[in-house]
Chains A and B, each alone.
Chain A
């Protein structure tokens, strides 16, 4: 024990003698670092608040999709709109619908009168979810000069938003790796392609088309569930991100799926060895809606409606179609030349789009997802 005690005191003396100088240096360095950090401005001081220099401006935050060139048209539009309306400032919240809508709902719960965003682009599921959550402000179609030119399937009876275009679900495949080019939804559950199918998260459309082929429908999905339970081994894997999806399709790991025509075309344009095929039973449309958020101030509501109306003009609907690779909603819009020859944009494709009751899809999504994970994914 003496040995230990002596050693302890000796060590302490040694440490203390060293620390007097060391401590000073470390302290000085710490103070310098703290001062430097304090001097650095907050990284977010300029962003997000919506304030702007000069006179008082009405600030509008627009929700835009995260993906490909989906923010291109809204940003080009905003630039032009702000030039002709100098009292309006438009900012963007670029996020996926799942994360972005979650935050919008959380903000609504915290303070409904201070919405996270004022308006934006929303996919069909989010639109339906938002109706249930009383998220949207009705639009006055009669006061919107461009609303009359929007095809009826993009208009809602309750005026809770209006469509600007539609993407579609069809078959996306790597024909070389697959060895053929199937053109029917049934290829997804055809034993010839066993272990070659991949899906992104929960593909309700795969269950729906299976139900449809076996006498069911959206209001009776049971035949679809039964078929997929039996043929779960068709599925090679479930992917969780777009890069992973593109890679497993391209390298032949799982060369057959059903996905957005627009995203698939973007991958094809980037050099991926894939092909989009419109199923002979028809593709499934996925309208994109423009919606104004409820409980914001009257001035904001008015400006949001005006922005939506302007974005529905043939010029901007065409530009949206071009950048998002979607079928335009405005009857007066022309299909962009760059898209005109693609299978997804042929008149026969548009005429053959399936009719989907998205109210059922939106309200059943959670229950279906749970069943998919529980009954199908557990068997792959």
Chain B
């Protein structure tokens, strides 16, 4: 048994198990074609415009071609330092997120009570329910010189820590928001691990740590790599958190791009974006290679045994610590939404519900919410379909073209959204296609595609391809065989991918603000607009309401899950 699950053996088995050689090549290309078409037209079209812009003397059409902006970039010490800072921030965020996420996901997976497991998953997911502005505000109150963390540090007689408006605050906030992006792929991988393997290892005398290290960890490696890949890429292109919590001391490429766009220096914004894109594609390519090497062959079998659940005190304490970390800034946001002061006074001087009253009297809020939900639902449906098709193609078929498309499909995640927005706005206007909301949905599909592909590809690498082959042998058509075996097996990952896509689309502002016409607003754009106009806790009230709404949805979903679980237990008796 041990030999059957050892990593080197799996790697040797992978190419034959996936059965790539038996499948016609055109099917793979056809499956990837919708995604490839979108990427080649909208994304590469936009990048093409950026490349053209990077060689323009200025923003006016027909200006002389020049490489001066490229030369300026590579001779600028501040820009080169920003390259290093970008990598450092991304690496720190990815590594710390992963180190926190692995035991967290394992603890959640092993939690015996499905109610507590559900609550835990919801808590980890909660940061995605709030806007970056609200989260930043929460962190500034926690990490400031006179903040709650330094108050606690002072209690043990230590001097205050310099965290806010420096690199530590940026990394902490990035880990906070990106943690769910690592936890969920790992949870999906854990959901696919045959419970009998752990039981077998324990029966053979392996201690829990040895079992985790030698059996579980290698099997969930694709999920870990997928999560780290998403976090690294998102951290690389992250703008708002380094800007707001770095206090000017954390200069990354994305913040420089925003500064260039604000001063209408498009050629330099284009150069910086392209450099960021190229560096990111190289790193993402390395992640993809690592993912392939970590791929688990499909021939080790699935007993569908859930395995025994239950966690020891240490893991339980870890989960509580993670919950405290995740919830702290959100609790601050909810409390400050009831502050009587319009500015960030802490402790709050008095209680008031006036910001909720103010929120409900705002014009355009309902319309903006409807627009966001409309765009996010359509984007999620489309990206789930075409992203899953592409993932299957990348996983099961081998060709140079598909490999290129697979790396390209991850690129939209790392280009600063403000540059994609600007370039897409130009592209859609020049070509005159996809006018209005269709263009916005198409661009949202492009930017959410990497999330679906990373999560689903990682899940596919844990599926048993022989099930698909068996179904075909038994006379099922290709679609039915895929539906009955593979699609069923990757269902948890599809839900996670859909959730990510929905949240990313629902929360997108930097790109969307360029694609909206005068008079049009989505909810994040409405929030951005409000923030520019008024500086009061109304947005904290909105964030608190969104958290409450997601709590209600989670509660209802939890009730259904529990009822289903109980009825399953009853029927099994």
Contacts and interface: CB of A to CB of B under 8 A. Distances in A.
B137 interface: yes
B502 to A, nearest CB: 13
Contacts of A377: 248-249, 251
A215 interface: no
A356 interface: no
Contacts of B534: 68
A43 B370 contact: yes
Interface string B477-499: 00000011100100000000000
Given A48-B518, A106-B422, A247-B344, A43 B367 contact: yes
Contacts, number: 214
Interface stretch (A86-94, A154-162, A289-297, A342-350): A86-94
Contacts of B251: 373, 377-378
B145 interface: yes
A107 B59 CA distance: 12
A32 interface: no
A94 B529 contact: yes
Interface in B514-555: 514, 516-520, 529, 531-536, 539
Nearest to B438: A42
A70 B520 CA distance: 19
B425 A106 contact: yes
Nearest to B78: A374
Nearest to A377: B248
A23 interface: yes
A23 B301 contact: no
B474 A12 contact: yes
A344 to B, nearest CB: 19
B263 A366 contact: yes
Given A242-B532, A244-B244, A250 B301 contact: no
Contact of A9 (B144, B249, B470, B519): B470
A129 interface: yes
Q: In the complex, which of the residues A5, A15, A235, A365 has the most CB atoms of chain B within 10 Å of its own CB atom?
A: A15
A288 to B, nearest CB: 16
B514 A99 contact: yes
Interface string B329-341: 0000000000001
Nearest to B166: A237
Contacts of A270: 342-343, 535-536
A144 interface: no
Given A4-B300, A98-B261, A373-B78, A109 B59 contact: yes
Nearest to B194: A7
Nearest to A116: B518
Given A247-B137, A377-B248, A66 B436 contact: no
A365 B268 CA distance: 14
Nearest to B426: A106
B51 to A, nearest CB: 15
Contacts of A67: 532-533
Contacts of A99: 513-514
Contacts of A101: 264
Contacts of B60: 133-134
Interface in A133-177: 133-134
Interface string A104-127: 011101110000110000000000
A103 B429 CA distance: 11
A8 B302 contact: yes
Interface string A212-251: 0000000000000000000000011111111111110011
A246 B426 contact: no
B247 interface: yes
Given A4-B300, A15-B488, A110 B381 contact: no
Given A9-B470, A102-B422, A111-B429, A242 B535 contact: yes
A4 B1 CA distance: 12
A186 interface: no
Contacts of A61: 518
Interface stretch (B281-289, B371-379, B391-399, B403-411): B371-379
A102 B264 contact: yes
A19 B488 contact: yes
A52 interface: no
Contacts of B422: 102, 106
Contacts of B144: 251, 253
A173 B425 CA distance: 40
B345 interface: yes
A262 to B, nearest CB: 13
Given A19-B483, A109-B426, A271-B343, A44 B517 contact: yes
Contact of A129 (B264, B370, B437, B519): B264
B531 A11 contact: no
A42 B374 contact: yes
A267 interface: yes
Nearest to A66: B532
B508 interface: no
Interface string B246-259: 01110100001001
A37 to B, nearest CB: 6
Nearest to B134: A243
Given A47-B520, A242-B535, A377-B248, A250 B343 contact: yes
B265 interface: yes
Interface string A1-19: 1011101110110111001
B426 A66 contact: no
Nearest to A251: B344
A92 B519 contact: yes
Point out which of A12, A48, A373 has the most chain B C-beta atoms below 10 A from its C-beta.
Answer: A12
Contacts of B150: none
Contacts of B436: 42, 44
Contacts of B261: 98, 102
Given A44-B371, A244-B244, A270-B535, A4 B343 contact: no
Given A12-B474, A48-B517, A105-B59, A243 B342 contact: no
B136 interface: yes
Contacts of B133: 241, 243
A107 B429 contact: yes
A44, A91, A202, A365, most chain B CB atoms within 10 A:
A44
A48 B78 contact: no
B532 A8 contact: no
A48 B520 contact: yes
A209 to B, nearest CB: 20
Contacts of B65: none
A235 B248 contact: yes
B59 A133 contact: yes
Contacts of A15: 484-485, 488
**Which residue of B263, B346, B485 has the most chain A CB atoms within 10 A of its CB atom?**
B263
A369 B140 CA distance: 26
Given A19-B488, A49-B517, 17 more contacts: A5-B466, A23-B483, A42-B437, A43-B371, A47-B517, A48-B518, A102-B264, A129-B264, A237-B248, A241-B531, A243-B539, A244-B244, A250-B343, A267-B535, A271-B343, A366-B264, A373-B251
29 contacts: A5-B466, A8-B467, A8-B470, A12-B474, A14-B304, A16-B476, A43-B520, A44-B436, A47-B517, A48-B516, A48-B517, A48-B519, A48-B520, A92-B519, A93-B519, A109-B61, A109-B426, A117-B518, A129-B264, A236-B247, A238-B247, A243-B344, A244-B244, A245-B535, A250-B343, A272-B343, A369-B259, A369-B263, A374-B78
Going nearest first, the 10 A-B pairs with the smallest beta carbon separation are: A238-B248, A237-B247, A93-B518, A4-B301, A110-B429, A43-B371, A247-B344, A48-B517, A374-B78, A270-B342
Interface of B: 59-61, 76-78, 81, 133, 136-137, 140, 144-145, 165, 243-244, 247-249, 251, 256, 259, 261-265, 268, 299-304, 341-346, 367, 370-371, 374-375, 377-378, 381, 422, 425-426, 429-430, 436-437, 464, 466-467, 470-471, 474, 476, 483-485, 488, 513-514, 516-520, 529, 531-536, 539
